[in-house]
Amino acid sequence: MEPYVIDPEVEKKEILRRYSGLLRAAHRSKSTQDKRRIRKAFDVSLEAHKDMRRKSGEPYIYHPIAVARICAEEIGLDTTSIVCALLHDTVEDTYITLEDIGNLFGSKERMIIDGLTKISGVFDQSSSNQAENFRKMLLTLSDDVRVILIKIADRLHNMRTLDHMKREKQLKIASETLFMYAPLAHRLGLYNIKTELEDLALKYTEPEQYQEITDRLEKTKAVRTRFINKFIVPLQKALEGEQFKFEIKGRTKSIYSIWNKMYKKKVRFEDIYDVFAIRIIIETPVEKEKADAWKVYSIVTDFYQPNPDRLRDWISIPKGTGYESLHTTVMSPTGKWVEVQIRSKRMDDIAEKGFAAHWKYKSTNEAAENNLDEWLAQIRDVLESNDDDALSFIDDFKLNLFSEEIYIFTPNGDLKTLPKGSTALDFAFRIHSQVGSQCIGAKVNHRLVPLSYELKSGDQVEIILSKKQTPKTDWLNFVVTASAKQKIKQALKEERRQIASEGKDILRRKFNSLNVSFLSVNITELERHFNLDSATELYYQIAKGRIDLKKLKGFSVENGRISFDKAVVPVKEEAPIKQISTAPGKSETLLIGDENQKMDFTLARCCNPIPGDDVFGFVTVNGEIKIHRINCPNATQLLSNYAYRVIKARWAGKEMLQFEVGVHFTGIDDVGLVHKITNIISADMNVNMKAISFESNDGIFEGQVRVLVLDTAHLNTLMDKLRNVNGVLTVERSESTENS
């Protein structure tokens, strides 16, 4: 990459050019007053950041201008949001204070900048608790959603300019983006931004696969364009004949979605039938939208046979995000399935701009508005009641961000929206926390079902209650919604606290009988003796009878202090550092940390890294170093939530060591095929096999082999040779299902 050359005159012109571009993009800021406020924010930000530069060497002001433009152009936010986007880093990074913001711009701007400053730690590389920062970010969501929308715009620009960061920072930021920002953008209806965030994250976490898919899409672009043009010709004529004002677009599936299917679901690029979709956007009055959309559907299906299982009506019942559209999948004359999306111009605006577009159409889109309001209320409810650790909260919350939705009816016919996979117990807690807590069962479509029954769209549910019922620990296995989990945990915690209170009284009486003072030093001594983490846990175990104070042994009491004979104190066993060497000098194959030190390590079983793989080290709670592949199934969560425990690691050379790895293949069963495969592995490649298994079913075979290889290059050569065997269809490196 060319070094950045500083030229003040050129930079000054470029800053003004970018500012002019921002004003052109600010479609909602028409008045002179709006433009004055934006100019004032620009001047304040320009002055405050005048001596600052980005990692690329460019003036820092480029960044807030870009974030403000994303807010205006790609999200469609108002003047207040553009002002705050221009100022979003000033309080964090410059001499400007919140008081200055309040005095210069107003209380609303001060509140939004305050929210943005509080969550700035999410992007802070030195932060040791990403989960807590994410939680802070969500707290601001319940105050003013614009805080999160500006933060998403900030993250999008950072992802677009990530090239100048070090590799380890790129991985952390990309993982964080996949972990929280993309799901949040999805839930707020910012589908284009969600897609771009996912694609950019993939560019840094899986660069080779990203490039491969990009190249294949580029090579097939001309063929796709010809196909789309031919497909839409009869539709255009028919729509014009019906006097519709319309636009037809072809939309290619995102690189991330294609990668998901290719590498996670083991589908070949050629077999992904929905690589692109056709979108028909009609201009029609709000009162005629639904009828006209179905009229267009009728025209489409006059020409192309629809797949009845692939019809999605999000016009009658919009998604919780407010998304409205009619989707159908039809068969083209060439035998390809094509997804067709039908929507009005208003619906398309909402699909493109998400939550922000609801302000524009508020009076015409009350159902979608209510859905979003209900979701924000649920977040507020979960946040206010949550006293659990932040990571647990984020994991629960994140489950619901990407979930598809189902629609459930109450006995009175009221409609409730729940994430797909929700159970009768989730529904009970959605009605009210007390209804959930006293739920003993449910009737679904007038049939009695257990609490764990998984609901389906269209079910009518009646909850059966008992005043004697209280939440149970196993209920956590029956629910999928974050709000239900939180309410159950809260109830269990309160019950545990009450039981612990009884245990505390029992211990107090025991101490009195032994002339031991009820002081924290004595409580700590007992915790140490029984190897417990907290006083509450100690009291709870005593109350439940798991610790029998009558059988206390090996202690002495002096001046009100109790002490135990060290010989009888139970000690937690430290997990031994496992040796994985297959030859002397194992630790020399990997260099760990910034100083490239040689340390003991263990290879994580969840991804089985081998030399040549892109890897990182992770320090476990035991102080052990585990080595994971960058594309390990657990990597996104580890890099995002525990960045402070992640250390650099790289293979240091090609030692002649062998590492075990699994290879999975499928093909068409044929005489001698097994012999050909084993011959390539053992004879041609000189690879030792640890285990091999084949299974044949109706002419198709599946095979699994565990082999010893030297490094990634050795493994890839072996897999390429296997792919060239006649009859073999797929060859993939298999992931272990064991937890690390």
In this structure, the number of other CB atoms found within 10 A of the CB of residue 315 comes to 19
| Phi, then psi, of 419 in degrees rounded to 5 | -65, 150
Q: Which amino acid is at 734?
A: S
DSSP state of 701: E
Please state, in angstroms and rounded to a whole number, the distance separating the CA atoms of residues 291 and 280. 15
- Tokens of residue 5, six digits: 């050359």
Q: Which of 264, 252, 265, 162 is nearest to 214 (CA)?
A: 252
- The answer to whether the CB of 225 falls within 8 A of the CB of 250 is yes
DSSP state of 580: -
Query: Which residue has 């764990």 as its token pair?
Result: 452
Q: Residue 280 contacts by C-beta under 8 Å, 6 or more apart in sequence?
A: 235, 239, 246, 247, 248, 296, 300, 340, 341, 342, 343
CA torsion 251-256-257-263 (nearest 10°) is 140
Told to judge if 93 belongs to the known catalytic residues of this protein, a careful annotator would answer yes
- The answer to whether the CB of 292 falls within 8 A of the CB of 244 is yes
Q: Which of 295, 332, 291, 297 is nearest to 312 (CA)?
A: 297
Give one word for 112, left, alpha or beta, with left for phi > 0 and alpha for psi -120 to 50.
alpha
What does DSSP say about strands 276-283 and 312-313: parallel, antiparallel, or unpaired? Answer: unpaired
Task: Please report the sign of the dihedral spanned by the C-alpha atoms of residue 198, residue 203, residue 209, residue 214.
Answer: positive
Candidate list 14, 58, 78, 92, residue with the active-site label: 92
Query: Which residue has 């072996």 as its token pair?
Result: 718
- Tokens of residue 549, six digits: 């104070």
- The answer to whether the CB of 706 falls within 8 A of the CB of 688 is no
Q: Which of 247, 241, 259, 242 is nearest to 199 (CA)?
A: 259
Query: Which residue has 């974030």 as its token pair?
Result: 67
Number of H helices, E strands in the chain: 28, 22
DSSP-derived 3-state class of residue 591: strand
DSSP state of 53: B
Q: Residue 51 contacts by C-beta under 8 Å, 6 or more apart in sequence?
A: none
* Beta bridge pairs of residue 603: 627
Please state, in angstroms and rounded to a whole number, the distance separating the CA atoms of residues 735 and 68. 43
Query: Which residue has 């309001």 as its token pair?
Result: 373
- Tokens of residue 193, six digits: 């931004």
Candidate list 73, 93, 313, 388, residue with the active-site label: 93
What does DSSP say about strands 276-283 and 337-344: parallel, antiparallel, or unpaired? Answer: parallel
| Terminal Cα distance for the chain, rounded | 38
DSSP state of 630: T
- The answer to whether the CB of 590 falls within 8 A of the CB of 628 is no
Q: Residue 184 contacts by C-beta under 8 Å, 6 or more apart in sequence?
A: 148, 152, 401
| Phi, then psi, of 449 in degrees rounded to 5 | -135, 160
- Tokens of residue 385, six digits: 């009641």
Helix, strand, coil % over all residues of the chain, rounded to 5: 50, 20, 30
Please state, in angstroms and rounded to a whole number, the distance separating the CA atoms of residues 374 and 416. 10
Query: Which residue has 């081998």 as its token pair?
Result: 610
Q: Which amino acid is at 390?
A: A
DSSP-derived 3-state class of residue 504: helix
Please state, in angstroms and rounded to a whole number, the distance separating the CA atoms of residues 470 and 32. 61
Among all residues, which ones are annotated catalytic? Answer: 92-93
